[in-house]
Amino acid sequence: MRLLPGLALWAVALAMAWLLPGHLWHPAQPPPFPMHALLPAVLALLAMTALPPLLVFLIGPSLARKRTLSALEAPPDLVWALLLLALWPAMAGPPGWTAWIAVLLAASVPGETRWLASALPVEMPFPRAWGPAATRASRFQSLRRLVPRWLAARLPLWLTASLVAERVLGLPGLGSDWMARVGGRDHAGLAAWILGFSLLWLAARPLERAAA
């Protein structure tokens, strides 16, 4: 019963994608799904999802006050990209996606780590007084509740960042596949995207309940 309003919304989105009005001057084949972008996208997402929680779990809420983290967090995100472009030897050709994922991580991980570390409850005097095992258990429980919400808040931002990388730098990505399918009036392809998102939403429901 609790799922019904959400499912109804997804059904409306599906119907809108299927019935998208308009047509093309010269009908074109729908673009092939960017399968080649899946691996870099999944790797980047895994790294972004795993690194900050892992660091916070290992170091604890004191990480939010560490000067080294501040030093890494202080430069604007674009500085890392500019540094790569400035220092990368032009003779070697354009930097590949592994280099750009490293830039993305350098720009994002410190900020994300601080966000998570600041949100953890204080550990002094308890659970620190009860020993390392209790401290780890407390951190684990807190992160279990924090991480799904953190991901939900940050995913749209990362998707936008990937869109910029795709359009400006010609890197493989999934973001502009949407636009290509809207532009090409690929009703079936758009509906498949909506269906995929709705399944993700359904799969995330148990996480949401656990966090509540």
Partner 1 sequence: MKGEGHEQFIAQALTGDALVGLSAENRPVPRLAASWKVVPGGLDFTLRSDARFTDGSPVTAADVIWTLQAIEADPQASPTKRAALGDLKASGEGLRVRLRGSRPVARLLLELWRVPIAKAGHGDMGSGPFALQRSGTDWTFTARPGHFLHPQVPGLHFRLLPDEAGRLLALRKGWLTIGVPPPQPGLTPPSGMTEIVQPTLAQLIVWAGPGSTPGTLRSLAKWRAEAFPPALMGRAYAPAKGLWPMALGFREMEPAPGPEPCPAALELAYTAGDGVLERQLQALAVRAARDGVTLKLRPLEAGLFLDQLTKGRLALGVITNVFDPDPWSVLGYMEPGGDLNFTGWIDAGTPPLLAELGDPKSPAWKELQALWARHPAALPLLDLHSVVWVDRRLEIKPCALGIYLATPGAAGWRWRE
Q: Does 170 bind partner 1 (CB under 8 A)?
A: yes
Sequence-ordered alpha helix ranges (H) in 27-96: 38-59, 67-73, 77-87
Q: Which of residues 29-68 bind partner 1 (CB under 8 A)?
A: 29, 34-37
Widest Cα–Cα separation across the chain: 71
Q: Does 86 bind partner 1 (CB under 8 A)?
A: no
* Residue among 26, 133, 156, 209 that touches partner 1 (CB under 8 A): 26
Q: Does 176 bind partner 1 (CB under 8 A)?
A: yes
Overall residue count recorded for the chain in this entry = 212
Of 81 and 116, which has the nearer Cβ to partner 1? 81
Angstrom distance (rounded) from CA 5 to CA 2: 7
Q: Does 85 bind partner 1 (CB under 8 A)?
A: yes
3-state SS, residue 198: helix
Segment lying near partner 1 (by CB under 8 A), choices 16-24, 122-130, 137-145, 147-155: 16-24
Of 5 and 170, which has the nearer Cβ to partner 1? 170
Of 34 and 111, which has the nearer Cβ to partner 1? 34
Q: Does 20 bind partner 1 (CB under 8 A)?
A: yes
What is the nearest approach in angstroms of partner 1 to the Cβ of residue 184?
A: 8
Number of neighbouring beta carbons within 10 Å of residue 63: 20
Write the CA distances from 50 to 58, 140, 166, 187, integer angstroms.
12, 13, 23, 35
